[in-house]
Amino acid sequence: MADRGASVFELNRSSVDARDSRRHGDSFRCLLTVLVGSDDTDYKFSIIRMTRQIAWHSRNHGNCKGACDSCRAQSPTGDHLSMACRAVGLGGDRRRLPGGHGRGGILCRHGHFGPLPIRIAWFGVALPALTLNYFGQGGLLLTEPGAVENSFFQLAPEWSHYGLVILATAATVIASQAIISGAYSLTSQAIQLGFLPRMNIVHTAGHEIGQIYVPVVNWALAFGTLAAVIGFGSSAALAGAFGIAVSLLMAITTLMATFVALRWKHNSFLVYSVNGSLLALDLLFVASTSTKLLDGGWFPLAISFVIAFLMLTWRKGQEILDTVRLEIREKSQEFIERIKVDPPHRIPGTAVILGRMTRGVPLSLTRNIKFNHVLHERVLLVAIEMTETPRVAEEDRVKITPISERITRVELRFGFMEKADVPKGLRVAVVRGQISECDLRQVTYFTGHEAIIPTGRKTGMARWRKAIFALMHLNAQRPGAYFNIPSAQVMEIGVEFDI
């Protein structure tokens, strides 16, 4: 029944047009009766409800305001229709949809291009091609029910099967590349939002900000894929893992769409009514696939748990570390009074002191004065803030706060889709006249080389989690490289934090 249900769903899914879903309801019921050959009304209507869910997604994807905003944010996973199209019959084999993986992955990658290319690609290429393909499979199944096992390849004459295999292989490669690129984008955004430690991010194209390569993620995906292939042994053994992953993805996507719609001030009753009904259906699929939890379904859940655990550990560790920083940082006014009473030797040039926060004086500056007894003629205390918006307008990039005649606090703001480039931000401030002109090629950048000592001194996280945080911090990319500072201009001051 699961295989036949999957094939029926392929046929019904192809027939859906967002504007004509009601009109086609009777034909759906007839096709279900003919092909499934069962009087199980609940099963048939569950398929119909799923088709209507896809119709709803298709209609809203084409018209909703969120498409422009989400694409402007370059979200690589924002397409609801592709998520819905990946599902098949209750508890069935979710790998039976030909082209499902490739289409979803390609649409994920299209998030880098904006709303217009997505609409052209979907309505001009993908939707017509898929409609013709699935209508063709439906016609084939009506005339030859025995073709249900391999309806895609049996659409074409036997001599063209090799070409179709090559085409399917190319689609798989493209889908894999799209998923990898999406993983790069999500990792970059998680770093910017403070959920992962700094990593080496290579920008592969100077004219396109979304073209990036993250070596750590690339190798993690490679080892994870090899482990899954070797461990499970066959694609059939992975069916349970795939089913749970897709059904949970659909439920999570519906929840996220609900939060976004509420934030955009849509009618709350309509949002809860529509998304609530869709979520109920999604949870039905989650419940049906949960029966395969021990049959491979644990694999994606384990991966999700590990990644979420590491992200939350890093986030919480950074909060504890910021608390410790504030405790031992010298207040700005106290620092100014101290250097007036006991002035250090002034050396020519400009010093840029990098720090995470806009309060107090960074430890790299106070330690430099304490041990070297020198201070540059001009000092910029630079704090980098990553916003929850994709990009920051140039006029909002820099905020200046004078501390004394020769010391200025500079706040640089970057969106989570932007490269946190400190020299570029300072250049913007110079061009806009917010700070006096200086030769940025001669500036000295001071950063802290921080060592984390996990102890029980600070509460809020178990000691063993603090040890994991310390290990992640140790392997994080150095601030100078991450903020695009020339290595010849960086001076690191060692600082130990006891947490």
Query: What is the tens place of the pLDDT at every residue in 439-486?
Result: 888 899 999 888 888 887 778 888 999 999 999 999 998 888 889 898
Question: DSSP letter at 397?
Answer: S
The whole-number pLDDT of residue 278 equals: 92
pLDDT of residue 471: 93
Sequence-separated (6 or more) residues with CB below 8 Å from residue 450: 473, 495, 496, 497
Handedness of CA 187, 191, 197, 198 (dihedral sign): positive
* 217 phi, psi to nearest 5 deg: -65, -40
pTM: 0.68
Phi, psi angles (nearest 5°) of residue 213: -135, 125
Predicted confidence band at 63 (pLDDT cuts at 50, 70, 90)?
very low
pLDDT at 248: 92
Q: How confident is the model at residue 195 (pLDDT cuts 50, 70, 90)?
A: very high
What whole-number distance in Å separates Cα of residue 383 and Cα of residue 395? 17
- In single-letter form, the type of residue at position 30 comes to C
What does the alpha-carbon distance between residue 110 and residue 94 come to, in Å, rounded to a whole number? 23
| Distance, CA of 201 to CA of 188 (rounded, Å) | 8
Q: Which letter, b or e, does each residue of 410-443 get, where b requires 16 or more Cβ atoms within 10 Å of its Cβ?
A: bbbbbbbbbbbbbbbbbebbbeeeebeeeebeeb
Answer for the pair 429, 410: CB distance below 8 angstroms, yes or no. yes
228 contacts 238 by C-beta, under 8 angstroms:
yes
The DSSP line for 86-112 is T--STTS-TT-STTHHHHHHHHHHGGG
pLDDT tens readout for residues 316-361:
999 999 888 888 888 888 999 998 888 899 999 899 999 888 888 8
Cα angle: 242, vertex 247, 248; to 5 degrees: 100
Q: How far apart are the C-alpha atoms of 415 and 491, rounded to whole Å? A: 27
